[in-house]
Amino acid sequence: MKKYGLLGFPLKHTMSPPIHQRLFELDGVNDFTYELMEYETLGDNVENLLALDGFNITIPHKVNIIEHIDELADSAERYHSVNCVANKDGRHIGYNTDCDGFLRSIEASGGSLSGKVLQCGCGGVGRMIAIECVRAGADLTISVPEGFEDKVEPVREYAAKNGYNNNITMVHPDEISGKFDTLINASPVGMFPKVDACPVTEEIIKNSGFVFDVIYNPEKTKLLQIAEESGIPCCGGMAMLVWQAAAAHEIWLGARYENVRIQSIISDMHKVMEQQF
């Protein structure tokens, strides 16, 4: 029997079990367990984790798990953050599949990170998204509220250290203007229960060629609603959640997935979310 799980605290509203259940079904793996390991601290629980065939990690353990594993893949090294561990014959390798989930969501939805990109928010997952935009060659504008300007510095530092010459501009929300090829919301603005909030004006949305929102609850944020009504291609955060899980299965089992199958899971997970929340 293959044994997998999710490490984190708390895990009350996690979508991981139903997503991985569906992926294991696509993999043709019937003899498996996917356990929730709700550990506030790692402590003596590390031995249980390392005995698994693989596991996912969420807050607050994405960094402190690093000292307990043997190797970091490039993605995990880049962000000093691990959300997936594979047990390769007793050697434990850490990955960051959040970046895979983001990139493959954009690709599957017909979006692009080349050209002019406006990103709202740059904390947590937003830092990863901004750096992936830099790596893709984007002309990047990052909008952060007053008092959060320092959130942009790690992105600029990464670009300078690694030889990227992208134009990286920092603005406050009320200073946003112009047209953008891609608009990304990497902030919590619009998340349940404040579903009427939107990170940018309707004018900015309509001046964008593609819209991506990291939020998956609600399924269609105010941002995505306006984009759809304006005929602008867009993608919500559930796609990123499912694709990053799919990337974990590719690491664990060597699986490969057709976009149409993943889109079916994304749709089903929205229904599961409505039932759970």
Q: What is the pLDDT of residues 32-59, one digit of tens each?
A: 999 999 999 999 899 999 999 999 999 9
CB atoms within 10 A of CB 187: 25
For residue 276, pLDDT over 90 is answered with no
- Domains of the chain, CATH where assigned: 2-97+239-276 (3.40.50.10860), 111-232 (3.40.50.720)
Amino acid 34: pLDDT: 97
- Report pTM: 0.95
Active site residues: 62
CB atoms within 10 A of CB 73: 16
Closest CA to 224 of 259, 195, 265: 195
Mean pLDDT on 88-115: 96
Q: What is the pLDDT of residues 183-206, one digit of tens each?
A: 999 999 999 999 999 999 999 999
Q: What is the pLDDT of residues 117-138, one digit of tens each?
A: 999 999 989 999 999 999 999 9
For residue 265, pLDDT over 70 is answered with yes
Q: Strand 91-95 vs strand 84-88: parallel, antiparallel, or unpaired?
A: antiparallel
Q: What is the pLDDT of residues 222-231, one digit of tens each?
A: 999 999 999 9
